[in-house]
Structures are given as C-alpha cells and as structure tokens.
A and B are shown apart, each in its own frame.
Chain A
Amino acid sequence: MNFAATLRIALLALRVNKMRSALTMLGIIIGVAAVIVMIAVGGGAQARVEDQIRSLGSNIIMVLSGSMTSGGARGGAGSQPTISEDDAYAIGREIEEIQAAAPTLRGNGQVVFGNTNWSTVFYGITPDYLEVREWAVIEGRGFEPAEMNGAGKVALIGQTVARNLFGDASPIDQVIRVRKVPLTVIGVLDRKGQSMTGQDQDDILLMPISTARKRVLGAAMAKSRSVSSIMVKVRQGQDMSAADQRMRELLRQRHRLQPGQDDDFFVRNLSEILQAQEASSKVMALLLAAVASVSLLVGGIGIMNIMLVSVTERTREIGLRMAVGARGRDILTQFLVEAVTLSLIGGAIGILLGVGGAMAVAELAGWRTELSGASIVLAAGFAGAVGIFFGYYPARKASRLLPIEALRYE
C-alpha cells in the first residue's frame, strides 16, 4: 500500500469526524503555540539583557596599571604607573582581534562655570575612546586632530554635568574651568544612564589626553607617557579570552617581564557577567522545555485516547480491510499515519497561532519577542514525535486484531 493512498485514507477518516479531530488537535495546538510563544518571549528577554550588557561593554577589556608595594602596604590597581599610551597604540596595532584600544588619563576635580560649580570625573582621551564606548556627541562636535595633538583647551561634557552647570541653556562654546584651567565646551555626549555598578555614566567630562597631561593634571604627569587605564574593544564575534591572552603576552613582552614574574598590570572584563547570564538563560530554557513537554504530553494523551476510541469504533472496518488482504503492518501504518497527520496538522495550526500570539504579545504587551526558526522546527518535530509515540499503541492494537473477531464485532 503506497504512502499517498495511506495519507488519503487518514485524511478521509479525520474528515469524517471533523469536530472530534479538531478537539483532539486542540491539545497539540495549545502545546505547540505555547512553546513558540514562550520561546519567543524568553528569547526576547534574553536579547534585551544581552543588549544591555553589550551597551555596558561586554566586549570591552580594561587594562589597569599594576599595584605598587611601598613600606609593606600594597597599593591598589593603578597605584603604579606601568602602562603607557604606547602600550595602547601597540595593542591596537598588533592584535588583530582588537578593534580599538583607548588610553585614558583619569582625574577628578571641581568644574566651575560662572557662579555654579560641580565635582566630576574627567578623562583625558584619544578619539578611540568614543569608538570603544560607542558614545556619540549629540550636540556640538568632537575633538579635532589639532586639538588632540596640541593640548587644545576644549572639553566634551556628559548630560549630568551639562544639566548641573547650564540647566536648560546650551553649553556649547561656553568656557568652564577645570582645576582652574579654562576649557571651551565644544560638545555634549549622548545619555548613557547608569553603569552596572550603579554609577552615573553621564557625570563625566572628556578632554584630549594631551590637555589632561600637560595642562590639567599638573607637573607629575606632564613628562610621563603613562596612563591610568587602557580601554580595549574586541572586534564583534572575536573570542574574548583569545584577545585577552594575546594582549597579556604583548604587554609582558613590552614590559620585559621574565617568565615566572608576575604581571605588572591588571586585566578586567565583563565575561563573568556574560557567563552568569548564559547560565540563567539555560535555566530559563529548561523551564520552558518542561512546560512545553507537559502540554505536549497532555496533547499526546488526547491523541492516544481518541485513536483508541477510533480503533474500537472501526473494528469492523479493520476486519474488512484484513479480509480483503490488509496485513497487520498495513493497518498499523494506516492508524499511525492518521495519528501523525492529526498531530502534524495540530502542530501546523499551533505554529501559526504561536507566531500570531508572539506578535500579539509584542504588539499588545509591548514585550520584545524573538521568533526563532529553530523553535518552530523543534515544535513541529515534537508534534510529529508525539503523534508517533502516542499513536503507536492504538495502531498496534488495531493491527493485532484477528480478522474473524473484528468482522464479527458489533
């Protein structure tokens, strides 16, 4: 008996009892739709968290100066100026996984404008800094090369600084003083919000690194090339740990450290946060799978139930088919195909409903949802597997009937 004929018989049998077929499918429909909606919502939530982490810089590695021990007291990271601007340029130049390496000089102090003042953090930066942090200037302009090289008396300010010094007025072209050095505000940075540790990232002032070194931070720094930290951005899709490793090797080499000697710098990145996030999304996926398998299980039991009823009802039909030459396995195939058809049609409707449902959730609840092709394939595959698994027992029962008893069945 060929497959097309079997499928035709199955569809006919399902059409004969339309209402019952529809109700039987309902379990599968709900199960599959639930799987798809939940995976879409879960995927959306995960994508949102990932975006947040990315905006905070999951692909950013911080290189800090090493610690200095003086008189038995070990200083913290950065207490000894071991890394230099040139380290940063070397990293950016020599390691291909790295998109940009931005050296920064950090300081803090009072910023004064007219009769108002505000204490903030300032950074001496190179243009790479804005690239690394994916930070845009939304008002005014960025630094020009001449200002960069020539210690130009210019500054970019964050939103918090702008609000506290200028209120609603435009800060562009106003002159502020940082540690008594007059700087012209040439631009305002886009809003960044809070960092992961709760700091206000918009409470910031940026100036060219040469300005910070020669004019603002004072004599101690003026002659040195050392920097507070280097902020490194790893290229999209590159392996963080490989980049980390190569960067350490490069710095050890540049600092002429012998094997066995400790690093004279610290490297920090956010990969721990990513790992924690991955772990939590695995738990979430497991939870979804559990809920999905329960609903598909219930749907499958519904199919088994109805197939058993169907086998009983159609005992005479089975007997007749056997009398005219159907073998046990023909009957088995027929009922199995019927069960699988039922579950696959249910699965298909469930997929449509699930996709629609995910869209409705996005539209009505405003949640971000992420429909994945994999979840649809998974749901369809599961529906088919449920049909085979729960259809097998009734089908086998049908195939084991004895023809004379089946024919005589009232």
Chain B
Amino acid sequence: MAGTLIRVEQLAKEYRMGSNVVPALQGVSLEIQAGEFVAVMGPSGSGKSTFMNLLGCLDHPSGGSYWLDGEEVSQLSGDELAQVRNRKLGFVFQHFNLLARTSALDNVGLPLLYSHMPLHERRQQAERRLQQVGLAERMDHHPAQLSGGQQQRVAIARALVNNPQLVLADEPTGALDSRTSIEIMALLQQLNREGITIVVVTHEHDVASFAGRIINFRDGRVIQDHANQAADAAAMLA
C-alpha cells in the first residue's frame, strides 16, 4: 500500500470575477502517500476548498501539475475526469448529498451505475459497504428516515463502494453534533486503518486532531505541513 498516491507541483487556480482575477491557489507543491490520513485546514478563503476540488478532479487547475496514482490528471478532459472520479475517488460532503426518496442501498450503489455494473452486482457491493458502516439494518430506509449521523454513514458507504484509492471528505462533521462527529471520525479512522487514504478538509481543530498529518492553508499557500499524533476517536467514545 506504500507509495506516492498524490503529487502536486506548483498547483494554481485563479477565478475570474468580472475583470478581476482572484488567485485562490498560488503554487502548491506537496505529496501524499498511500495510506495517510490528512487534514487540510485553514480559514475560509484560504484556498483549502479549491485545493480539495482540484484533488477531487472536480475542477481544472489554472497552472501546475497533479499526478494521481501515477497518472497526470491536470490535463484531462471533463469526461476523462468523470472516469477518474468514478474509478479512483470517493466523496463525503458536509450536507451528505444523498438522493431524496431513494433507499440507502440505491444511494450507495449510485457510483456503480456510472461504471456500468449490472444491477444485482451493484446491490451486492452496496450491501457489503452498508454492513461495513454499520447500517445493514437500514438498507431500505430513505434519507429522511435516517438521523444525520446515519445519513453521513450512508454517504461514506457510497464513497467506498467503488473501491477508491482516495476518499475526500469536505467538512464531514459540519452538520453533525459533537458526539456524532466523533463517531464519524472513528469510522474514517477505522477505514484508514484498513488501508484507505483519507483527506479531510475542515476548519475545526477537533476534527483535524484525528488525522495523522495536518496541512494548513492561508491565502492560497501552504503555511504549515506537519505530522500529528492522532487522537483515537473510538477510544473517546468508549
């Protein structure tokens, strides 16, 4: 599982606001190894969300290069990026972004729909992931019938269903109370121990404290990048 999963060099992104050009990211270079648990921190406007979108292949950089799993992805077309997202990435969002009136099982199976997997296999994979996040009993529930923490577990199961190399979590606990937040972080830590690389974007130190490495952003640059003695979320719940 060792090896470099992410390598960015002089990664830059600027937005146009009318005639103004706003630099959101100004030449970021770093590497993330497979199996790491990284927290990206910074105040709003620091560029951490832009960095996250670029890592997630949701946006094209204005400059620099990005290698994901040895593949240069910064020059790919929109459709090719969609393929990369589908095969290599999993996303967890602050507001879960589950499809309403759709069962947990079908929500989890959604990414596999776009990799042309037959229905019964999709169901099997989704079931396995829901068991993994502890929601085997609630597969037929709709999001509205689940608590916030359960919804985020469904979202995590969805992020895992395509066996991604990288899970990106954008403020995964932002909409949850503190105990549920710790539960979610415990789940992410457990997944990380099982070998999945995780990058969490947050502005909360409590959340970042569960990561093994913290990268601080300010004004579109990395100002600090250090290892962290990760707190054990599961132990805090006990």
Contacts and interface: CB of A to CB of B under 8 A. Distances in A.
Nearest to A406: B58
30 contacts: A1-B113, A1-B114, A2-B116, A5-B113, A5-B119, A16-B101, A316-B97, A319-B97, A320-B110, A321-B114, A323-B56, A323-B58, A323-B91, A324-B85, A324-B86, A324-B110, A324-B162, A325-B82, A325-B83, A325-B86, A325-B114, A325-B162, A326-B82, A327-B79, A328-B79, A328-B82, A403-B59, A404-B53, A407-B58, A407-B93
A322 B97 CA distance: 12
B99 interface: yes
Interface string B62-76: 000000000000000
Interface of B: 53, 56, 58-59, 78-79, 82-83, 85-87, 91, 93, 97, 99-102, 110-111, 113-116, 119, 158, 162
A253 to B, nearest CB: 76
A305 B53 CA distance: 32
Contact of B158 (A5, A324, A403): A324
Given A5-B119, A404-B53, A404-B58, A324 B99 contact: no
Interface of A: 1-2, 4-5, 12, 16, 316-317, 319-330, 402-404, 407
A325 B85 contact: yes
Given A330-B114, A403-B58, A12 B85 contact: no
Nearest to A13: B101
A323 B101 contact: no
A403 B60 CA distance: 11
Given A1-B114, A329-B79, 15 more contacts: A1-B116, A320-B110, A321-B110, A321-B114, A323-B56, A324-B158, A325-B87, A325-B115, A327-B82, A328-B82, A402-B59, A403-B59, A404-B53, A404-B58, A407-B97
A1 to B, nearest CB: 6
Contacts of B119: 4-5
A323 B87 CA distance: 11
B110 A328 contact: no
A325 B111 contact: yes
Contact of B85 (A2, A16, A323, A328): A323
A328 B53 CA distance: 18
Contacts of A323: 56, 58, 85, 91, 97
Given A1-B116, A321-B110, A327 B101 contact: no
B110 to A, nearest CB: 6
A322 B99 contact: no
A1 B117 CA distance: 8
Contacts of B78: 327-328
Q: Which 8 A-B pairs have the closest CB atoms?
A: A325-B86, A324-B111, A325-B114, A327-B82, A320-B97, A327-B79, A403-B58, A404-B58
Nearest to B79: A327
A322 B114 CA distance: 9
Contacts of B93: 320, 407
A5 B91 CA distance: 22
A326 B97 contact: no
Contacts of B115: 325
Nearest to B111: A324
Contacts of B56: 323
Nearest to A403: B58
A328 B124 CA distance: 27
B99 A320 contact: yes
Contacts of A327: 78-79, 82-83, 114
Nearest to B101: A16
A33 to B, nearest CB: 31
Contacts of A330: 114
Contacts of B53: 404
A321 B56 CA distance: 14
Contacts of A5: 113, 119
A1 B83 CA distance: 12
Nearest to B81: A403
B231 to A, nearest CB: 29
A1 B122 CA distance: 12
Nearest to B52: A404
A329 B114 CA distance: 11
Contact of A322 (B82, B113, B116, B158): B82
A12 B101 contact: yes
Nearest to A15: B101
Nearest to A4: B119
B79 to A, nearest CB: 5
Contacts of B82: 322, 325-328
B107 to A, nearest CB: 10
B102 A326 contact: no
Nearest to B158: A324
Nearest to A410: B95
Contacts of A317: 99
